Amino acid sequence: MVIRFLLLVLALVPLSAQSPRHIKVYEEAGRFGGWPANHGIWSWNNEILVGFAAAWFQNKDIGRHQMDSNKPEEPRLARSLDGGETWMIEAPKSLLPPEQGGAAVRDLDAPIEFSRSGFAMTLRLTSVHDGPAYLFYSYDKGKSWRGPFRFPMLGFQGVAARTDYAVLGPKHARVFLTAAKSNGREGRPFCAETKDGGRTWNLLSMIGPEPPGFSIMPSGFHLGGNEWIAATRVKQDPQNWIELYRTTDDAKTWKSEGWIADTGGGSGNPPHIIKLRDGRLCLTYGYRSKPFSIRAKFSSDNGKTWGKEVTLRDDAAAWDIGYPRSVQRTDGKVVTIYYYNDAPHRERFIAATIWDPGKRI
């Protein structure tokens, strides 16, 4: 009975990743570095580019973001040329929104070539409840950007765009975004598509029914043929979790496959799904209850079942962490980038964890 009890306890404890290394990507006095998942990540072999916000730090009640909401969240990029070992911070003026001195928003003036070398696209919200979204794109690995261009409202009261897309052809792409609910509150995920390089977008489907709380920030992945999955960040007080949806009719309809991870408190955390070279799916996310942590899970059967949680790190001092994005570099290690803290009332910083995902079992 003692052995059975110990086995049960071990089954409930998250595993630890093999020898993860943590690197500070961005840290600046007086600044709140945050939310890579909102901005996007791109990679070309061992060159990695990730977006994030440089907000302004302000000491507040511990239940809130430690930032001055009356000052702008300025866009930043971090670039690594060596698989995440070292980083350079960039602030291209061409990525500034109109309200921060950037170019005026306009309609797309030429089709986007999604399959062009060095392509990157980012979609940015103006509000989580209402209003339009902006689209920027680059052909030179994010050194310069074209935009902002209007993303259509698609009949919604608001489109809360965070960057998640799949390129399917030279002028064919799909995006996984969040719309305002019918009551104007945040939010409900959807999938939209363009086949003419972004000149027009069509709503393909809503991902799941309208939730009592919110279901937002979908991470979509194409499994091949007509099969896709999308993981969403769900809040339904008092719980927060990641839910998986699947479609086998090319995104016409979606079916929930239930919870795949618990994200703790603090309104939860968004998921990110990538496919490793050994065929496994890798899910990364933040956990906002003690121990405040960055975690991962794997699936060897295209998301039908998921293994135990793997803890990448759990040394944060407060709940205000996460929003990860991950890529696999050429040696097989995974680079997971997120925002983090080492004290409750200090500046938040961007960090990267380089870790070994092990082998398919």
List per-residue pLDDT tens for the chain, 361 residues long: 333 333 333 334 455 566 899 999 999 999 999 999 999 999 999 999 999 999 999 999 999 999 999 999 999 999 999 999 999 999 999 999 999 999 999 999 999 999 999 999 999 998 888 888 999 999 999 999 999 999 999 999 999 999 999 999 999 999 999 999 999 999 999 999 999 999 999 999 999 999 999 999 999 999 999 999 999 999 999 999 999 999 999 999 999 999 999 999 999 999 999 999 999 999 999 999 999 999 999 999 999 999 999 999 999 999 999 999 999 999 999 999 999 999 999 999 999 999 999 987 5
Domains (ranges, CATH) in the chain? 19-60+70-356 (2.120.10.10)
Kindly give the pairing relationship between strand 293-299 and strand 310-313: antiparallel
State pTM to two decimals: 0.94
Whole-number Å distance between alpha carbons of 189 and 207: 5
Whole-number Å distance between alpha carbons of 290 and 317: 9
Answer for the pair 185, 178: CB distance below 8 angstroms, yes or no. no
Q: Which SS3 state, helix, strand or coil, does residue 69 take?
A: coil
Looking at 81-171, which runs of residues are DSSP E strands? Answer: 88-90, 120-125, 133-138, 146-151, 159-160, 165-169
